Amino acid sequence: MFIIESYPVAVIFCIITMLAWGSWANTQKLASPNWRFELFYWDYVFGIVIFSLLLALTAGSSGDAGRPFMEDLAQADQGNIGSAVLGGILFNAANILLVAAITIAGMSVAFPVGIGLALVIGVIVNYIDSPLGNSVLLFGGVALIVVAMLLNANAYKKLSASQDKVPTKGLVLAVIAGLLMGLFYKYVANSMFPDFTQPIDGKLSPYTAVFLFSLGILASNFIFNSILMKKPVEGTPLGFGAYFKGSSRDHFMGILGGLIWCVGMSFSILASDKAGPAISYGLGQGATVVAALWGIFVWKEFKGAPKGVPTLLNVMLVVYVIGLALIVMAR
C-alpha cells in the first residue's frame, strides 16, 4: 500500500486535507436552493463510501509496504473493526448537525465555532493517546484557536442583532457538532497499527480503517438522518420519496461533497503516521479558515454587517492562522 515516508510530505497531505475539509460544503451551496440539507446529506454519505472503497482498492492494494486492503480486512479483529465503525458513527452524529448549522448560520460561522471546538477537543484527546510534539507550542496554538472561535461567535451575534435574528439555534448546533466531532478521530487512529510499514495482527491499515469508518457513517445515517427528516431543525418534515425528486445536479453535488471530504479524511489518516494524530488532525482543521474565507468573501454571509464586524472577522482569521502555525511547529 502507499504510505508517506517523511514529515514534510505529511504536512503537504495535511494542507490538502485542510483545503478539502474547508471546501466540500460549497457543494451544498451549489445544489438547488430548495434542495434540503437532509436530502443533500444522503448523497454526501454515498460519496464518502465510494471514495474510501476506490482508494482502498487502488492505493491501499498496491506497493510492498504494509498489508493489501482485502488481506487486511480479512484478518482484522472485531475490536478494531468496531473502533473504526464507532468513529464513523460519532463523526456522522457531529457532521449532520454541522451541515444543519451551515444551513442556518452559514459556513463562516458553523466552521469556526463547530470545527474550532472540534479541533481543541481533538488535539487534546489525540495528544493524550499519542503525546507527540512540543506541548507548549501545541496547546498555545489550541488556546489561540479558542480565541478565534470566540471572536467569530461575537461577530455572528452582532450580525444577527442588526438583522433582528436570534443566533442561538445555529450556534448551539455548531457547538454540539464540535463537541462530538472532536472525539471521532481517536477511535479511527486507535484501530490502526501505529507504524504503517509494520502491520500488526488484528490491527487495520489506514485504508481499511477509513473504509470501515465510512460504513459506520452509512449505517448510522439511516438512524440520524431519518430522525432529522421527521423532526427537522427547520422546515416541514420530509418523506423518503422527496429524495428521488431531486435533479441529477443535486445528487451529483452531494456525491461530490462526500468525495472531497473523504479525500481530506484519507490524507489526514495517511499523514498521521509521520506527523502524529494530534498534529495531523489539528492542522487538517485549518479547514475552518478556508471555509470562513469561502463564506465571507464568496458567499457574502456577513454582507450588511454593522461597523466593527469586518475587523472582528479579520482578527479572527489572523489569530486562527497563528494558532495553526504553532500546531505545525509543535512537531
SS (H, E, C) 16-43: HHHHHHHHCCHHHHHCCCCCCHHHHHHH
**Residue 15 domain-assigned (yes or no):** no
**Residue 9 domain-assigned (yes or no):** no
Q: What pLDDT does 263 receive?
A: 97
Determine what percent of the chain falls in helix, strand and coil, rounding each to the nearest 5.
75, 0, 20
pLDDT in tens, 129-143: 888 789 999 899 989
Q: What pLDDT does 318 receive?
A: 93
- The whole-angstrom separation of Cα 69 and Cα 55 is 10
pLDDT in tens, 136-169: 998 999 899 889 888 888 888 888 887 766 557 8
**Residue 215 domain-assigned (yes or no):** yes
**Residue 17 domain-assigned (yes or no):** no
What's the CA angle centered on 295, arms 268 and 188, to 5 degrees? 20
Question: How would DSSP label each residue in 69-80?
Answer: HHHHHHH--HHH
**Residue 268 domain-assigned (yes or no):** yes
> Percentage of residues in the chain with pLDDT exceeding 90?
57
Domain hosting 84: range is 22-329
Q: What pLDDT does 252 receive?
A: 97
Q: What pLDDT does 23 receive?
A: 94
**Residue 12 domain-assigned (yes or no):** no
Query: pLDDT band for position 12 (50/70/90)?
Result: very high
Q: What pLDDT does 26 receive?
A: 95
pLDDT at residue 70 tops 90: yes
pLDDT in tens, 210-238: 999 999 999 999 999 999 999 998 899 99
pLDDT at residue 32 tops 60: yes
**Residue 219 domain-assigned (yes or no):** yes
Cell numbers 467569530: residue? 152
Q: What pLDDT does 165 receive?
A: 66
- The whole-angstrom separation of Cα 284 and Cα 267 is 9
Question: How would DSSP label each residue in 209-260?
Answer: HHHHHHHHHHHHHHHHHHHHHHS-SSSS---GGGGGGS-HHHHHHHHHHHHH
pLDDT at residue 245 tops 80: yes
pLDDT (average), residues 263-285: 86
Average pLDDT, the chain: 91
> Percentage of residues in the chain with pLDDT exceeding 70?
99
Environment class of 63 (CB within 10 Å of its CB; exposed 0-12, middle 13-18, buried 19+): exposed
**Domain total in the chain:** 1
**Residue from 300, 294, 296, 290 nearest 320 by CA:** 290
Question: Are 113 and 152 spatial neighbours (Cβ–Cβ below 8 Å)?
Answer: yes
**Residue 14 domain-assigned (yes or no):** no
